[in-house]
A and B are shown apart, each in its own frame.
Chain A
């Protein structure tokens, strides 16, 4: 079965620095990969989607990369702010199945 690992349970960085979160998967590559943000007690909110034939996607201070050789996606937040503190979820969809599989998330804390 497919497995998703998000690099660490928690990440703590200084405001203004770039936060980099990792999503690794096993076996074959997904058709596309998504990143969601979840605040405590709230539902996840969609941020970005990247297809398997895309290397990089950007949206404002966010950047996602997708390396099918390494079986890895990186999620970057540049010029991080305390308001970026949240849990970030990686989610994969495979062409052989329609369901979306989520990782357990990385809790990001940005300290002033």
Chain B
């Protein structure tokens, strides 16, 4: 497989459920991201991991819990979500360089989450 792969593509869950979203990148990148995309709103950065270390937590509620076991895998654990958390969750990766901030993001296809 190539690029950034997200599973599942669609997820429906109740507010009391616990589920996880998975992301895997095959690009050899050293940074991974979770973004949330709601209708007619800009992409919202949630978490950033560089070399498996979390470097950004954009004031995300604790019902979202990220996990990055290695540079190729990223998870988003979901627990007691609210209906307003329904959105497209996008994973992305990039190659961070010490000498430059230039980087482009490579996105997965997203996981469409519906919270009932």
Which of A's residues lie within 8 Å of B, judged by CB? Answer: 4, 9, 31-32, 34, 36, 41-46, 49, 51, 89, 91, 93, 95, 98-105
Contact check, A44 vs B105: say whether CB atoms are below 8 A apart.
yes
Q: CB < 8 Å: which of B42, B101, B106 contacts A4?
A: B42
CB distance from A2 to the nearest CB of B (A): 11
| A-B pairs with beta carbons under 8 A, tally | 53
Residues of B with C-beta under 8 A to A100: 45, 105
B39 CB to closest chain A CB (Å) equals 10
A42 to B108, CA, bound (A): 8
Asked if B107 and A45 sit within 8 Å, CB to CB, the answer is yes
Contact B40 A44 (CB under 8 A): no
Give me 14 other A-B pairs in contact (C-beta within 8 A), A43-B108, A104-B42 excluded. A31-B101, A43-B107, A46-B104, A46-B105, A49-B104, A89-B43, A98-B101, A99-B45, A99-B58, A101-B45, A102-B42, A103-B42, A104-B40, A105-B42
B40:A43 contact, CB within 8 angstroms: no
Assess the B48–A43 pair: CB atoms within 8 A. no
Q: Is B90 an interface residue (CB 8 A)?
A: yes
Measured in the bound complex, the distance between the Cα atoms of B34 and A41 in whole Å is 16
B47: min CB distance to chain A, Å: 11
Q: Taking beta carbons and an 8 Å cutoff, which residues of B are in contact with A?
A: 4, 6, 40-43, 45, 48, 55-56, 58, 88, 90, 92, 101-102, 104-110, 112
A42 CA / B4 CA spacing, docked (Å): 12
Residue of A45, A95, A100 most packed against chain B (CB within 10 A): A100
- How long is the Cα–Cα vector from A34 to B102 in the complex, in angstroms? 10
A42 touches B106 (CB 8 A): no
Task: Determine if A93 and B40 form an interchain contact, defined as CB atoms under 8 angstroms apart.
Answer: no
Q: When A31-B101, A32-B102, A43-B4 are in contact, do A104 and B112 touch as well, CB less than 8 Å?
A: no
Interchain CB contact under 8 A, B106 and A46: yes
Asked, given contacts A99-B48, A104-B40, A104-B42, whether A41 binds B105 with beta carbons under 8 Å apart, the answer is no
